[in-house]
Structure 1
């Protein structure tokens, strides 16, 4: 899918400018921040103040009391648990009698509920502060961007560090490395020379240039494509736009900056070329074949199928898109099941864009429908997705030293994963949202 929005372009931003932009975003949503009370932050250097990778400088103190705790890493279930968060970081989590609650701590009563770590959304397009806030409210406390048109995700990442309850902790992708940049050519003055290229961004030099601009702007990952889009009726999702050599140029440029590549893909040949080029994760991948899945397992390449986006096509008013969705969804579910059985790592991502944020819990439900166990489906949006983002030591679990992010649910997700679609409360960095 990978629908790109086109809000007005921003001027060229230095890191200082990005922080200023984030502050402006935070200012426009100050009333929302006030509505979500924050706990006191732990002073730097105080006991328990060490912040794992991916944490900003802001966090709250909170005790989540009485819920049934699920640890996705082990599958262990602890009834009547206590989770202690100090300065946005978990200090302790476990059975009541074994977990000390600080005197005078702010308590969030959760008796009769279940508590899980905040969910990880591995493919989303966050273009506005409203979308970022909605993602958090729906349970995605950590996310990976699937690109934006004008580096909005860079600013959203900074917003998340300054006011965590307003945005998920974010791995930003910057702008899409694609043959036709469209209005994105205005995202940075360094991109404008590419507008004169008759065949678009295809040469090794042009591909490297877009990657280099992304890296200079602070992108955490690089997003490219091998096929056309499924979400536009006039495009053929099986048509290939980059060959293996071009994809290799993107991967090589990203690796020089220490970054991985996520690749929009549909056809089997496109998927195989992308994996052989060395991408970090395959996005969509409806027609990925067995030979490619074996190669993905060998290389440790992740599969982010975005089942939510494909299912959404089937509900389109456009007959071409609706038929495409009805045809593609069962094929993709079979691919997900085959990938899981082979041991290919899976990550949950909705590919939300265009102002609508789908709950990441819905993607977990579709993973379950594709044949994964409830626990394995939950892992695609917790421990497995955290590893993809390089945050396995700080998100995806509620354990000492991990982020104080949590979703509180009305029911047992191991019995019915659909409860993940509507968390009754979300906690971001120790702050109830």
Structure 2
């Protein structure tokens, strides 16, 4: 397998690499896109010839110095007090003890007053670039310290716009770390041959990785092999016919949302063989639907993804109930050992799981972000909340157990050495769904504050193959840095105490970022915590 990550950065760095894309002339509707972020506006069906957006130039930043700060290193958990960090040309140029910093200088000096300097946070599962206008989403990300994102759905047009610096990625946006091409689904990967052709095309288009959603069993394994032959990682959901252990053994690189569906809970059951025989392994979309039905497919899958938890039939609910009732710690731990051995990463997106399976929690009716949502998205959200609340007692009880089992399993796997990437599965901040709330969920699962800091800094750098440019506050690293008012290793809550965000060398106080978010949202949107 080749290098899984070709080291391409966001648009401010786009000149440093040459894409292999071939601008292919093709007829028909463009690639299907859909977002699993939980709001209707995250869906965007690309037209053949969309309006060409203007080029975006990442502006240079004046040199600045973060003076008298305590640098926290997520690599080993060390804390080095009273340091001075010089930033220039978008990079950390030098770090010296504060008493050795120049006394006379024309650069901007920000007195850290012993605050804690950490790398910017990376949200490793978002659907933001699919939005018609992601400006509000970007503003909400920066407020909570997110300086890097992994976009989880793409298209030829999005990849082309990135190569031509036409994505809206300026100093007010997080760094775009990775983006795939079209999602692998039965309409474009109905057979192993089609999957291989699609992956070769995406490699040529400049995709950073392959995102797989729903495929037949033989297509899944063919896709993993084809992606690796092209030097690409492959990540995504587990199709209904694929066990977590099979995905790990095949070399599937990163499982999103713990795989979705009942696959994991069946595999962790004492009655795994019997339950697996009973499971419906058919995929949700027929392979005969072609690209010309792109809009129909997008609409269908939007509804399916958003309302998936609400549309489970009695048979599937009963199977899930029995799987959770026979959950075995030993089987879960053994699976975690396999995942660790095979280097199968996990992006559990626990806030997304909570939103599906604890939708009766008051936060989903009281989160201030409700006021910032569009009328259509707010209406859809509240309809889902009401529908969940009116389900049977057994239904709600089973789904609460699903959520609790997710937390428990993440804790067992962390103890086994499984690597995690923090992510939210959102396109824009949603009720009860943000990276800061994901930190709290990971804490409930048993991860320490250092574990959580790693999952959003040095571990994403390791997964992406970029430990030489991101993930630590060190010389020659990208100047994406946060100042925190409290020790992030002392408590999970302290990870939200962001007072300054440096994005590509541009410094913003939290007050400035909140003011910008308020202006874009049209009203104040204070942070929230889970009950």
**Residues 100 and 387 of structure 1, relative CA distance in 2, 3 Å threshold:** farther
What is the match of residue 413 of structure 1?
488
What is the match of residue 119 of structure 2?
117
Shift of 1:304: 1.2
**Residues 324 and 179 of structure 1, relative CA distance in 2, 3 Å threshold:** farther
TM-score, with structure 1 as normaliser: 0.74
Shift of 1:113: 2.7
Shift of 1:403: 0.8
Answer whether contact 1:265 1:284 (CA < 8 A) is retained: no
Shift of 1:9: 1.4
Q: 1:278 aligns with which of 248, 251, 258?
A: 251
Question: Per-residue CA shift, 1:185-233, capped at 9, x if unaligned?
Answer: xxxxxxxxx5xxxxxx32112222332332232110111135xxxxxxx
The CA distance in 2 between the partners of 1:143 and 1:101, in whole Å, is 37
What is the match of residue 257 of structure 1?
230
Q: 1:298 aligns with which of 341, 357, 372?
A: 341
Answer whether contact 1:267 1:285 (CA < 8 A) is retained: no
Question: Per-residue CA shift, 1:23-77, capped at 9, x if unaligned?
Answer: 2xx49xxxxx9xxx9524xxxxxxxxxxxxxxxxxxxx22112332211112111
What is the match of residue 45 of structure 1?
none
* Structural mapping, 1:335-350, within 5 Å: 335-350=409-424
What is the match of residue 141 of structure 1?
147
Secondary structure of 1:67's partner? strand
The CA distance in 1 between the partners of 2:347 and 2:239, in whole Å, is 12
Secondary structure of 1:401's partner? coil
The CA distance in 2 between the partners of 1:295 and 1:73, in whole Å, is 24
What is the match of residue 290 of structure 2?
none
What is the match of residue 326 of structure 1?
400
**Residues 151 and 301 of structure 1, relative CA distance in 2, 3 Å threshold:** farther
The CA distance in 2 between the partners of 1:203 and 1:168, in whole Å, is 35
What is the match of residue 174 of structure 2?
167
Secondary structure of 1:91's partner? strand
* Structural mapping, 1:131-210, within 5 Å: 131-148=137-154, 152=158, 155=161, 158=165, 163-179=170-186, 194=188, 201-210=189-198
The CA distance in 2 between the partners of 1:363 and 1:154, in whole Å, is 32
Question: Per-residue CA shift, 1:86-142, capped at 9, x if unaligned?
Answer: 111111235313455782111223225322110122111122332344323332212
Secondary structure of 2:203's partner? helix
Q: 1:352 aligns with which of 412, 421, 426?
A: 426
> Does 1:105 pair with 2:107?
yes
Look at both structures and tell me which one has the larger radius of gyration over its CA atoms. 2
Answer whether contact 2:486 2:497 (CA < 8 A) is retained: no
Shift of 1:416: 2.3
> Does 1:396 pair with 2:471?
yes
Whichever structure has more helix as a proportion of its residues is 2
Answer whether contact 2:245 2:339 (CA < 8 A) is retained: no
- Tell me the C-alpha RMSD between the 2 structures: 3.2
Q: 1:211 aligns with which of 199, 210, 220?
A: 199
Answer whether contact 1:361 1:417 (CA < 8 A) is retained: no
What is the match of residue 9 of structure 1?
46
Answer whether contact 2:224 2:234 (CA < 8 A) is retained: yes
Shift of 1:266: 8.4
**Residues 114 and 274 of structure 1, relative CA distance in 2, 3 Å threshold:** same
The CA distance in 2 between the partners of 1:223 and 1:168, in whole Å, is 20
The CA distance in 2 between the partners of 1:107 and 1:164, in whole Å, is 19
Answer whether contact 2:124 2:347 (CA < 8 A) is retained: yes
* Structural mapping, 1:213-232, within 5 Å: 213-225=201-213
In the comparison of the two structures, how many residue pairs are matched?
Answer: 364
The CA distance in 1 between the partners of 2:53 and 2:429, in whole Å, is 20
What is the match of residue 461 of structure 2?
386
Shift of 1:310: 0.9
Question: Per-residue CA shift, 1:129-180, capped at 9, x if unaligned?
Answer: 3234432333221221221467547646846796243232321122211225
Shift of 1:248: 1.7
Structure 1 spans left out of the alignment, 5+ residues: 28-32, 41-60, 181-193, 195-200, 227-240
> Does 1:247 pair with 2:231?
no
Answer whether contact 2:60 2:90 (CA < 8 A) is retained: no
Question: Per-residue CA shift, 1:323-375, capped at 9, x if unaligned?
Answer: 67523221111121111111111111111126649432322222222111111
Secondary structure of 1:412's partner? coil
The CA distance in 2 between the partners of 1:149 and 1:62, in whole Å, is 38
The CA distance in 2 between the partners of 1:360 and 1:150, in whole Å, is 28
